[in-house]
Structure formats: C-alpha cells, structure tokens
Amino acid sequence: MSATAQPAAASSARLRGATTESRRPFVLSKGAILVAPAAIFLLACFVVPIGQMIGYSVTAHMDQGVAVPGLTTENYARLFRSNLYWVVLVRTLRIAVITSLICLPIAYPLAYVMARGSAFWSRLVMFTVISPLLVLVVVRAYGWKLILAKQGFLNWLLQNLGIAQSPPALLYTEWAVIIASAHVFLPFLVLPVASAIGKIDVAVEDAARTLGADWRAVFWRVTVPMSLPGLAVGVTLVFSLTAASYVTPQILGGNFAAMLGTLVQQQVLSVNDWPFGAALATVLLVVTLLANLVLLRLFERRFAGWASAGAAR
C-alpha cells in the first residue's frame, strides 16, 4: 500500500468509528422506547400492587375493619399460630403438586404429536388443546360440577359399567379441584413442551437411530433431555396457576377443600380484614416462588446430569 493510501484508509476508519459512535445513542434510545411500554405496564400492574400488598400485610387492623398506620408483624404471627392456615397451605401445595404430576403424562404425548405429527394430527391436537382456553374458567368449573355431582355423568357411567355400585363422593373434595385444575391448566404445559420438542433437530434423533438406538432409547436419552427447558417452564406454570387459583377451588371444593386463594377472598371481602388477607397473599406468593425455584433447580441439575452423561459416552 502506498504512503498516500495509508492516511486515507486511517481517516476512513476513523470516520466509520465516529459514525458508529454517533449512532449508538440513537440505537439505545430507540431500544429504551420499545421496552418502555412493557416496563411501565409491569411496574404499574405488577410491582406497585405487590408493594402495596406487602405494605398492607404489615399494617395494624382494628375490630371496626379500619386499617391504622404503623408497622406490625401480628398478621404473620396470627397466620403461623393457627393450625387452620397451615392445613390450608399444605393442601394448596399438595393440590398444585398432584395437578402438575397428573398433567405431565397427558401433556407430553400431546406435545409430541403437536410438534412431530402430521399436519392433520398436529392441527387437530392444537385445536383440542387451545379451544378450552376460549371458554371461561367459571363455565368449565360449573361443567365439571355437573359431571362430578353425585347424580352426575361420571357416577352414572361408573354405575352402568359396573365399576362402582355406590356413587363415590367426588364433588367438594380435593380430587374434584385436582381434576378440574388439570383440565384448565393443561394447555400451559402442552404448549411450552411442544415448542421445546419442535426446536430439537431431527438429525440428532436420526443420528441416535443410526448408532443403533431403538425408539425408546431415542425418546428417553435424546428427546426428553433436550425438551427439559420447556418441561420446566410448563410445570412451573401449572404449579403456580393451580396454587394461586380461586374460581375452581371455590366452586368445586367449597369449604371442604379450601385453598389459600379462597381464604384471601374471605378475609378481604367477607371479613374486611385487608391486612391479614394481604399477609396470606404474601405468604402464598413467597411459597410459590420458592417452590418454583426448587423445581427449576431440580430440572437444571437433571439436565446437567444428562448432558454430562451424554458427553461421557
């Protein structure tokens, strides 16, 4: 390169650098503008209400139903002193866990067909899974109430098939809440798992078959481990939504299978005890977050274990 060309190239590089530097603030400002609506929405509809709820939970409460200023932990102490609230908390977690476990073997085949099936079956499964979301939760809960009632369709079917001579009591039990919750929240597990399976390269499964693995080995050693991220998201969604649900437990469980969401509604609207209701909601939020963190950690460790085992082979 000639001596004249070198200064020209250097000046051109400096010009390009200056142009990039001048554009960077514009790119950052444009990104901030794009993110601002979502950030404002989350701040106004999530962060601020949760902050107010936590503030209410440490507020004193008078017998007349009027909250007075001042900080106190009496609401939490009252919650942990009573055995009733511990029973309801354990029931809430138990129903959420059982619902998640019931959804797993139902959701995974549906997700697999949705991701790897033919166009007809994939669309049929997608329509079957998504269409219940178009129906209100209240309508679905009342539908399950008619099915699970003592003179409902399920008991009629069991009696006519000779499976049960006397109708089992399902309505206003934990199992009624679990069955309806599994139906209501199943799509929130199917869709993330289907998305995770769809992102798995088919060539990886073909390579496993080429190396002599049968369909069971391909499924358990390739498909399931690589779909764990979607499985973790779906399970945590089902668990969180079930634990925080109110409509389904209220209609199908009543006072015999009450969950924390039901107690929060009773304290806020019936008893007019906002501070104690806020304390119950805060405990539900914290317990759900901790349970989700534990579930995600378990999935992470399992995924890491499978990945290291695959690398060792």
Position 217 in a domain? yes
* Listed residue (59, 272, 96) closest to 174, CA to CA: 96
**Residue 80 amino acid letter:** F
Number of domains into which the chain is organized: 2
Asked, for residue 72, whether it belongs to a domain, the answer is no
Is residue 41 domain-shared with residue 102, that is, in the same domain?
no
Q: Examine the domain organization and report whether 216 and 308 are in the same domain.
A: yes
Query: What pLDDT, on a 0 to 100 scale, did the predictor assign at position 111?
Result: 93
Q: Give DSSP secondary structure letters for 246-266.
A: -HHIIIIITTTS--HHHHHHI
More confident residue, 43 or 303: 43
The reply to whether 134 falls in a domain is: yes
Q: Which of 18-27, 130-139, 220-229 has the lowest mean pLDDT?
A: 18-27
Eight-state DSSP code of residue 136 = -
Residue 76 within any structural domain of the chain: no
Label residue 94 by pLDDT band (50, 70, 90).
Answer: very high
Cβ neighbours around 1 below 10 Å, total: 7
Q: Which of 57, 72, 95 is the last residue of a domain?
A: 57
Tell whether 118 and 236 lie within a shared domain. Answer: yes
One-letter identity of residue 203: A
Range of 79-83, 230-234, 297-301 with top mean pLDDT: 230-234
Strand segments (E) across the chain: 59-61, 67-71
Could you read off the pLDDT of 181-220 as tens digits, one per residue? Answer: 999 999 999 999 999 999 888 888 888 888 888 888 888 8
Do 207 and 118 share a structural domain? yes
Cα 311 from Cα 54, distance rounded (Å) = 47
CA distance 52 to 48: 6
Average pLDDT over residues 161-165: 73
Which pLDDT score is estimated for 73? 83
Report the distance separating Cα 121 and Cα 111, nearest Å: 11
| CA–CA distance, 246 with 212 (Å, rounded to integer) | 50
Cα angle value 78/255/258 (rounded, 5°): 60
Please check whether residues 116 and 153 belong to one and the same domain.
yes
Q: Which comes out higher in pLDDT, residue 64 or 32? A: 32
pLDDT for the residue 164: 67
Q: 176 and 265: one domain?
A: yes
- Cα–Cα distance measured from residue 175 to residue 248, given in angstroms and rounded to the nearest whole number: 12
Residues 34 and 90 in one domain: no
Residue 51 and residue 111 in one domain: no
pTM over 0.85: no
Confidence at 223, pLDDT banded by 50, 70, 90: confident
At 276-307, the pLDDT tens digits run 888 888 988 888 888 888 887 877 777 666 65
Pair 295, 208 in one domain? yes
Residue 239 pLDDT greater than 60, yes or no: yes
Q: How far is CA 30 from CA 38, 44, 110, in A?
A: 14, 22, 41
Q: Is residue 63 part of a domain?
A: no
What does the alpha-carbon distance between residue 59 and residue 50 come to, in Å, rounded to a whole number? 14
Give the pLDDT band (50/70/90) at residue 67: low
67 within some domain:
no
Between 297 and 114, the higher pLDDT residue:
114
Residue 46 sits in the same domain as residue 93: no
Tens-digit pLDDT profile for residues 197-207: 998 888 888 88
| Full residue range of the structural domain in which residue 32 is found | 5-57
**Residue 64 within a domain:** no
> Within a domain: residue 69?
no
Q: Both 103 and 14 in a single domain?
A: no
Q: Could you tell me how many residues make up the chain?
A: 313
Query: Closest Cα to residue 111, out of 197, 32, 48, 171?
Result: 197
**Res. 313: pLDDT tops 70:** no
The torsion region of residue 172 among left (phi > 0), alpha (psi -120 to 50) and beta comes to left
- Estimate the share of the chain in helix, then strand, then coil, as percent rounded to the nearest 5: 80, 5, 20
Q: Taking all residues of the chain, what is their mean pLDDT, rounded to a whole number?
A: 82
Q: Which helix (H) or strand (E) holds 68?
A: strand 67-71
Among 290, 287, 273, smallest CA distance to 64 is for 273
Tell whether 18 and 104 lie within a shared domain: no
For residue 227, the domain's CATH number is 1.10.3720.10
Per-residue pLDDT at 15? 47
* Residue 140, both tokens: 């679905």
